[in-house]
Amino acid sequence: MASVNKKSFEYDPHTLPNGENFKFHLVVSEWNKTITYSLSSAAIKTLLKAGVKEENILIWSVPGSFELIYGSKKAQKNNPNAVIAIGSIIQGQTKHFEYICQAVTHGIKDLNVKSDVPVIFCVLTDYNIDQAKARSGGKYGNKGVEAAITALKMAELVPNPKLK
């Protein structure tokens, strides 16, 4: 049975891809910015730890998560090794939450289908601010770290002979 509320992302920092020759663009939403800034700063720290040069990390700001789609599309055109889309959508009292979550998920999926530059989905979709805090540097870790590691892995995606 799947476990609930358990950290499921394990990684060995010694086996992280070397990011020395990679370029990454982060597209960060201004909505719920205490959350998104905490995600982006964890992502940046992780990339730097993996050897990515500071000048090879570019940050784009967009007003809300809905704009992550357009922002990421623009970022892809600069041909980085990967784009990380960072947002925090928190449920309000209307169906807006569902529409934004769906649009952003499908929009980013479409960008991955259409372009060779991967876009990593670092968008928290939470029922309340406490859940968002718990996943952006709280008791469930920081999803920005996971997104950065995913970006590094996608940047050097090659077939894995060990799985044969």
User: What does DSSP assign to residue 127?
Assistant: S
Query: Which residue, 103, 37, 51, is CA-closest to 81?
Result: 51
Minimum separation from the CB atom of position 66 to ligand DLZ (A): 4
Q: Of the candidates 17, 32, 145, 148, which one interacts with ligand DLZ according to CB under 6 A? A: 32
Q: Does 28 bind ligand DLZ (CB under 6 A)?
A: no
In the complex with ligand DLZ, which residue's Cβ is closer, 64 or 141? 64
Residue nearest to ligand DLZ (CB): 64
Smallest gap, in angstroms, from Cβ of residue 34 to ligand DLZ? 12
Dihedral over Cα of 94, 131, 28, 156: its sign: negative
The amino acid at 26: L
What type of residue is 102?
A: Q
Q: 25 catalytic, yes or no?
A: no
Whichever of 129 and 157 has its CB closer to ligand DLZ, that residue is 129
Q: How far is CA 87 from CA 24, 33, 51, 62, in A?
A: 17, 8, 25, 10
Distance, CA of 134 to CA of 145 (rounded, Å): 14
Q: Is there binding between residue 37 and ligand DLZ (CB under 6 A)?
A: no
Residues identified as active-site: 96
| Site for ligand DLZ, rule CB under 6 A | 29, 31-32, 63-67, 87-90, 92, 96, 100
